[in-house]
Structure formats: C-alpha cells, structure tokens
Structure 1
C-alpha cells in the first residue's frame, strides 16, 4: 500500500511498489483481532446460525455448542493463529514491482524475480484493475495486482521514459 519513490526531476532511484513492514503489521493486527473476536463470538454466531440461514451455519452451530472451559479458552487462541496464517497468506501473495531506469523487476529478489530490460519492454497499462506489462512483440510478461495508486504507478513508468498506454 506504499510506494518508496525517491524521485526528483531526473530519476534518482527506483520506484518500488510493495507492502511495507507497517502495512503487514496493520494487516496482522486486523486479522489476529478478527480471529480472536470470532473465537469469543462463536456462541453468538451459533445461535444466529440456528435462527437464520448464514453461510457455514451448520458447522458454526455445532462448534458453538461445545461449552467446556478448555474449549472456551482455546477458541480465541485458535482464532489468533488463523489470523496469523491469514496475514502470512496476504503478505506472501503480494508481488513487489520495482521500476528503474534500466529494468523492471517483478517479484522478490530471493525468489527468482522476473526482470524486463528496457530494450525488451514495449508498454504497460492497467486493465481490469491489474497492471499489465507487454514486451516487444506483444507478449504479456506480467499481469497482476500491484500496491500503490494507479497514478503513482503510471508516473513511475512515464517519468523513466517507459511507454504507458490506457485501455
């Protein structure tokens, strides 16, 4: 949700679009908080599931019927663990995009990122909310979601002389 764009006049460095550590912490706090809250609220959800047709109503109703003290204690802990897992999945599914003067790097350095050189680059644009990068010959090198505002992403490409097109 953040952009590390050190840009003033001529390009002073790469523009990086990725989740920051702060973003991951906020996502983690929200996910863990929701997991704990669901652990505490499971009995209320169970009674709601008994009255109204909600998704996964039968399993929720059965799970909420367990009221032994150890189960009541463990539910929020299990919710917190599921929140941590959800945070890891969200953070892991985010693909960093680095736009530099000489190349575009998609992915993490330690995970064999896709490198698109300036000479093989053709154009970039947003289609259906996803960044699409084409190489010469019209081959789609990347299509996916990227952190950052569309205008910031477009400016990162155009300010470095890359072709940007709108579809």
Structure 2
C-alpha cells in the first residue's frame, strides 16, 4: 500500500515567484520613468502637489530614477507580502489539517473533524460535535480541494450536512439565550455597517458558544449545537 504524504493546497512555487517578482519589477519600472512621468504631470492644469513635483524634477534625473526605482521595488515587495498573507494555505495529512492565513497557523486532528466542504468560496471544517471549527476564503478550485481531502480519508460533502437545521434569526429570538441574541444583534449591526472584520470575530465568538451561522446577503440563519 502506498501512503500518501502531506498534500499542499495553495499557490505553486511558480505562482509565488510571480507574486513576488511582478510587483517589484513594476515598481522598479515605474521608478525609472518617474522623472518622465513627473514632467508630463506638470503639463496638466491644476495638478496637485505641483511644488514638490517641480522640486523633484529639478534634481538630477539619473539619481531621481535610481532612488524612485529602489522605493518602487520596496513598495512592490510590501505588496507581495500583503498578497501572501491574504492567501489561505492548507496542509492535509493522514493525521491532521494545518491551515495558514495572515501569518497565523491553526491545526485540527483528523479524529476531531466530522466533515469538510466549500460554501461561497469558503473552506469550512465541522467538528465531531457538529460545530464549526474553521471558515476561511480559499482561492483553489473546489474539485482540487475535494480530491485532496478525499485522498486522505476525510469526510467531504458538497454542502452543509445540517443545512435543514438553520432558522432565520431576528432580534430577541425566543429560541436563543439572551447572551446569544446580544452577540447576534452586534454581528448584524456589523454586517449592516460593512464591518466585515468585526462580523468575522463575532462569528468565532458565537461558534465557541455552539452557534453556527449561514449568511444570505445581510441576513443571518442560525443553528444551535
């Protein structure tokens, strides 16, 4: 029997090279032509920051190009770092699943995972207690992700296996405890205000209380463990 080693889901080495190089090369090229761009900008009526631009143009163009190119490369590398942080990387083995996102790594043992599926481009991992262990956007193709999990013996489903257990949440819902209603209300306000980071944090807080949420537009559908 051939044992399948850890499977990686995320950008390939070639894709990582492009993500790293293209912004840096673009920044360098933009910097090299900065004196030309600055001279052109001065021909535009009412150009903003005209004084600083004129001052820069008055310097030696070669040194301006060199300095601007270096700044462009640094800016490109910072942009690449930001892009890398926004990509979910998944490592699947026979023992566990490791997930790396925004320089934070989380790991879940296979024995603690009930099901895995993708919903609205988000990878979702459910625990054996039917609670939501993990949810994050994934860029890889669904078929590729499904095959990787199946090859390692994880229970892959095409949709939420508990989709029929959700009910629409409204303020002061009689079926939920008051502290759960308070958090759901705070999350609804965050959604209405397009505060996605706060809504994400509140989702995790609610998951710890055994509350699983499905979002449809700006409506919350909830099931309790």
Q: Structure 1 length normalisation: TM-score?
A: 0.71
Choose which of 141, 148, 164 in structure 2 pairs with 1:149: 141
Per-residue deviation, residues 15-39 of structure 1 (Å, max 9, x unmatched): 1113344332221210111111222
Q: Which blocks of at least 5 consecutive residues in structure 2 are unaligned?
A: 160-225
CA RMSD in angstroms comes to 3.3
> 30, 37, 56: which one pairs with 1:44?
37
Distance in 2, Cα, partners of 1:141 & 1:86? 30
2:91 — aligned with what?
98
Asked if residue 25 in structure 1 is aligned to residue 17 in structure 2, the reply is yes
Q: Distance in 2 between matches of 1:47 and 1:136?
A: 62
1:107 equivalent in alignment to 2:100: yes
Q: How far is 1:83 from its partner?
A: 1.0
Unaligned runs of 5+ in 1: 1-8, 52-56
Kept in 1, the 8 Å contact 2:4–2:152? The answer is no
**Is this contact kept in 2: 1:19–1:91, CA < 8 A?**
no
Structure 1 position 139 matched with structure 2 position 149: no
Shift of 1:85: 1.7
Instruction: State whether structure 2 residue 79 is matched by structure 1 residue 86.
Output: yes
- Say how many residue pairs are matched: 152
Closer/same/farther in 2, CA of residues 64 and 140 from structure 1, 3 Å limit = farther
TM-score w.r.t. structure 2 length? Answer: 0.55
Higher Cα Rg, which structure: 2
C-alpha separation in 1, matches of 2:127 and 2:82: 30
Alpha-carbon distance in 1 for matches of 2:27, 2:154: 44
1:100-124 per-residue CA deviation (whole Å, 9 max, x = no partner) reads 122212239xx77322122210211
Cα distance change on mapping 1:122 and 1:49 into 2, 3 Å: farther
Q: Segments of 4+ in structure 1 off by > 6 A?
A: none
